[in-house]
Amino acid sequence: MGIIAGKTVIITGASSGIGEATAIRLAESGAAVALAARRTDRLDTLVAAIESRGGKAMAVATDVTRRADLDALVTHAVARFGTVDVLVNNAGIMPLSRLDLLDVDGWDRTIDTNIKGVLYAIAAVLPGMKAQRSGHIISISSVAGHRINGGSAVYAATKHAVRVISEALRQEVTADGIRTTIISPGATQTELFDKLTDPAAQRRLASAAEIALPADTVARAIAYAIGEPAEVDINEILIRPQAQES
């Protein structure tokens, strides 16, 4: 994928799952990757693995709920690699529960991470992309952003918000040469399943975990969107396991 080679890509939530798989795939395709997450030990291990294969990578400790962290991430990426060509807005959490359980703290964390974190990252990269009149902002939504099930109201609302934000952004920045892509995965092998604390949600999603796609499947979709020519804007990809009904 020659069009990926030479690009600088910021990936949030890069310490595991889709973010980690995307970092590996894009680095192997010649991109320089700036990896962001809170777990710096995981990031350092990933950077070492990429560099051992001849790739270019850096790690920046980042909490996407803190706007200053995103601004610092972009500053470090530009200082190291010269520019930011692509943002992969991947960081997210999924503390599913029924609304009547009143997990208000969980609602706040989900909104702060899945919506405000996406907006903060966009705010951090957008001025530079507009100045260079090129760029690509990829945001990870979910099948839950298309289809709502009981017990996932807040999570689904945040993932629908990601789609709304990305589509509005597309309309606003087309004239600036900036591309936007929404990736909506179905069941995927990530740590989100492992971090569910509500027993009902765990039972409900047990079958989904059994058929979940490898994270690299989603990484391939991200690479496809980036690798298309600049005049091609892949706006949305919805990808499910073939056996997933909803």
Active site residues: 155
Here the tokens at position 169 are 């952004």
Here the tokens at position 210 are 């059994």
In a 10 Å sphere around its CB, with 0-12 CB exposed, 13-18 middle and 19+ buried, how is residue 118 labelled? buried
Enclosing H/E stretch for 30: none
CA nearest to 93, candidates 81, 73, 109, 105: 109
Distance CA 22, CA 10 (A): 10
CA nearest to 74, candidates 126, 23, 118, 114: 126
